[in-house]
Structure 1
Amino acid sequence: MIIYEAKSIAVEKGIHDFTGSPLWCYRFMRPCGLAMHTKTRIAQKMPEEYESKILSFHKFVSDARKRNEFEIGQIGNMDEVPLTFDVPSNRTVDLKGAKTIVVKTSRHEKTRYTVVLSCCADSTKLPPMLIFKRKTFSKEVIPRGVVVHVHEKGWMDENGMRVWVEKVWSKRPGGLLKKPALLVLDQFRAHISETTKKCFKEVKTHLAIIPGGLTSRLQPLNVSIKKPFKVFM
């Protein structure tokens, strides 16, 4: 785009021998403080008056805790993380001067599954739930401490939420005693459906739904857990 614009200016000024080569472009960019970069993640667009919405959410959680006397270990957060079976690196070792660099994979770098992570405010980590894209359960032996669910699209739905409540949330410390709890969730449809709300009501769990567009600021898993988890994987 820089070269295209420069050529247009050259034509306007009657300069006909301007070639606008890539080398010229880099030389032009350097004193202007410009450089090539790899794209970063797409930043979440903040809604209007987001600061007041953040304060309102904090107040809602604080008031709910005072009103219901939730123990710190009974305040939780849950979210889904999409992953692939193969996570190839963009870097590898090869001979100096190699023109073409090939990174070998298992051909499953696009085969996705979902990991459901959850934690409590007292730093308790709850067992992860894996949702695989299949219609039947695998005959593989599942390691202890991991809950497995299947879905034809490999994603969370109302049935998956019911399984998570029964096998993960209800079995947290204090869950079997049905201690009053507060769970922070985003506005994903399966999280806030009437069927899901009924499941949570049965286990005495109140919901704090994060306002749309503010998960990057208000969801603990988004703020501090999911990125290092993905890096580790």
Structure 2
Amino acid sequence: MVKGKRQRLHEDGGRRPKQYKRDVPTYEFRLAVVTFFKATSIAKALERFYHGLEGTPRETARKNIYYWAKNISKIQVAGSSNSIKSKKKLRAAGTATVLSPATDLQLVRWINAYRDDGAPISSMMLRLKALEFAEATGVRSDLFTATRSWRIGFLRRHSLRFRARIRQGQIPPADSAKAVMDLNAKLRSAMDSLGVDVAYTADQTPIFFEYVPKTTIAKKGVKTVWVRTNGKDTECMVCMLLSSSFGEKRTPFLVLKSTQSKIPETRAENNRVRHGFGKVLWKEVERLQSEYEVQIYGNRCGWWDSRLSVIWLDYHFKGRQHPERPVVLLWDLFSGHWSLEVVNHAKSINVHLVEVPGGHTSVCQPADCAWNRPLKQRMRRHWVQRLAEQLADGSDERPAAIKSPSREEVVRWTTASSRDLATSTISNGFLAFFASHQMNRMLRLLLTRLQIN
């Protein structure tokens, strides 16, 4: 062998000819082959597109060309379409078992809630949550498995991507100022027409069982920064908070994930009598409700739904002192808030619903503007204090054991953090919408009283 030259594998040199054994041609390639074949002959088509094939592979290619020519109408449509010509197989939309559009949107809301809190979402987390929602809606696990192709399609449908974090912070959309002005005018119009001086807003937010800091201290230049956790950083419950434009805070609603009974009668009884929990767990939940002045419900997904919205409306507004006076309630554009059942029930108890513009909750939802950040900061403070206490119990011989907080601890932290929110913090969230409106109302009321006196 001559130095500097690579020994040839074949007498003729070069790479081996393509065998087309495991290659599925695209519709664009099939259309080109059939077009050339019809203009010339089968021998010339084989020589041009399958050059070098001999024996059985060549015979297989010949049969494929005749088969494609027989189905030229389908190949012509697919091969001429920019969106289809690169595909190798086609199947009608809806052939595979997929989640319903409502469940799809529920999954998007779950993603948004996690991202709003800064929690990362991996491909595995997306798959497990999709399987959980599918099971809750009655889709069998052997029919829907949340495959990689489904996840890619789901992300594409909702303009989502797996991205590496490059910055932090929240920048409102370019048209957020207009959205605030439109909502301001809509709320003022609703309050004037109904003759009310106060508005309510409610917002659901995930409460995590573990708040791992996003940064830590390490030596300069180290490539691996490891932190020890208990693996509960993505487990959460939902907290629904209600407050008024005057800073009034109402009883929080918490939703926990709870295993549902497989017996329909028992499941119905648990939902009706025990807030969705079993007899054993309900004893603890009932005690927590009484001790911390909170309402706790449970369902399979640990997420808000239309049934809870109806229960929530009844709890806060059905038995109010003056049911003849209308209530204005600002609510997110969430399907569990705006189902036909919820809207009709709100009308029946004289509650007027006003929706927050989709995509603008960061600037149009008072909770997102003013409360959620201090609420989560207080939750993190509780978790950090608990972590410090656990680490203090360790020694050089026996490292401290980091355990996840109990259900009671998370409930206690949530209610304490909610109570610690100042009245001014709550009312500040409404300033963009109600400041001038309430001032005008107060001046009118004052002038009326002066005229009477």
**TM exceeds 0.5?**
yes
| Map of 2:191 onto structure 1 | 65
| Map of 1:158 onto structure 2 | 306
Does the CA-based 8 Å contact 2:241-2:251 persist in structure 1? yes
Greater shift, 105-114 or 205-214, is seen at 105-114
Structure 1: distance between partners of 2:189 and 2:351 = 15
Aligned pair partner of 1:117 in 237, 241, 246: 241
Q: 1:145 to 1:169 in 2, by over 3 A?
A: farther
Structure 2: distance between partners of 1:83 and 1:218 = 21
State the AA in 2 paired with 1:80. Q
Q: Does 2:348 match 1:198?
A: no
* Cα RMSD for the two superposed structures: 2.6
> What secondary structure does 1:168 align onto?
helix
Q: 1:88 to 1:122 in 2, by over 3 A?
A: same
Q: 1:90 to 1:52 in 2, by over 3 A?
A: closer
> What secondary structure does 1:39 align onto?
coil
Partner deviation per Cα, 1:154-177 (whole Å, 9 max, x = no partner): 111101101211223446xxx242
Q: Does 2:182 match 1:56?
A: yes
Q: Does 2:332 match 1:186?
A: yes
Structure 1: distance between partners of 2:186 and 2:200 = 15
| Map of 1:227 onto structure 2 | 373
State the AA in 1 paired with 2:229. T
Aligned pair partner of 1:216 in 334, 349, 362: 362
Q: What is the CA-CA distance between 1:52 and the residue it aligns to?
A: 3.7
Count of aligned pairs between the two proteins: 189
Structure 1 unpaired stretches of 5+? 1-36
Q: Does 2:187 match 1:39?
A: no
Q: 1:42 to 1:217 in 2, by over 3 A?
A: closer
Q: What is the CA-CA distance between 1:71 and the residue it aligns to?
A: 3.1
| Map of 1:168 onto structure 2 | 316
Structure 2: distance between partners of 1:176 and 1:67 = 21
Which of structures 1 and 2 has the larger relative contact order (alpha carbons within 8 angstroms, sep 6+)?
1
State the AA in 1 paired with 2:362. S
Bigger proportion of residues as strand:
1
Structure 1: distance between partners of 2:344 and 2:229 = 44
Structure 1: distance between partners of 2:327 and 2:294 = 23
Does the CA-based 8 Å contact 1:46-1:213 persist in structure 2? no
Greater shift, 134-143 or 144-153, is seen at 134-143
Does the CA-based 8 Å contact 1:90-1:103 persist in structure 2? no
State the AA in 2 paired with 1:199. H
> What secondary structure does 1:54 align onto?
helix
Q: 1:110 to 1:182 in 2, by over 3 A?
A: same
Q: TM-score, normalised by structure 1?
A: 0.71
Q: 1:109 to 1:214 in 2, by over 3 A?
A: same
| Map of 2:162 onto structure 1 | none
Bigger proportion of residues as helix:
2
Q: 1:93 to 1:52 in 2, by over 3 A?
A: closer
Partner deviation per Cα, 1:88-138 (whole Å, 9 max, x = no partner): 3346689x89x6765443332221211111110110011111001113423
> What secondary structure does 2:336 align onto?
helix
State the AA in 1 paired with 2:375. F
Q: 1:154 to 1:44 in 2, by over 3 A?
A: farther
| Map of 1:11 onto structure 2 | none
Aligned pair partner of 1:83 in 207, 210, 224: 207
Partner deviation per Cα, 1:183-223 (whole Å, 9 max, x = no partner): 00111111111111122112211011122222111110010
Structure 1: distance between partners of 2:244 and 2:363 = 17
Structure 1: distance between partners of 2:182 and 2:173 = 19
Does the CA-based 8 Å contact 1:85-1:111 persist in structure 2? yes
State the AA in 1 paired with 2:200. G
| Map of 1:177 onto structure 2 | 322
State which structure, 1 or 2, has the greater radius of gyration over its C-alpha atoms.
2
Partner deviation per Cα, 1:18-61 (whole Å, 9 max, x = no partner): xxxxxxxxxxxxxxxxxxx96214645455xx544432221111
Identity of aligned residues (%): 21
Structure 2: distance between partners of 1:103 and 1:148 = 32
Structure 2 unpaired stretches of 5+? 1-164, 261-275, 380-453
Aligned pair partner of 2:293 in 132, 138, 145: 145
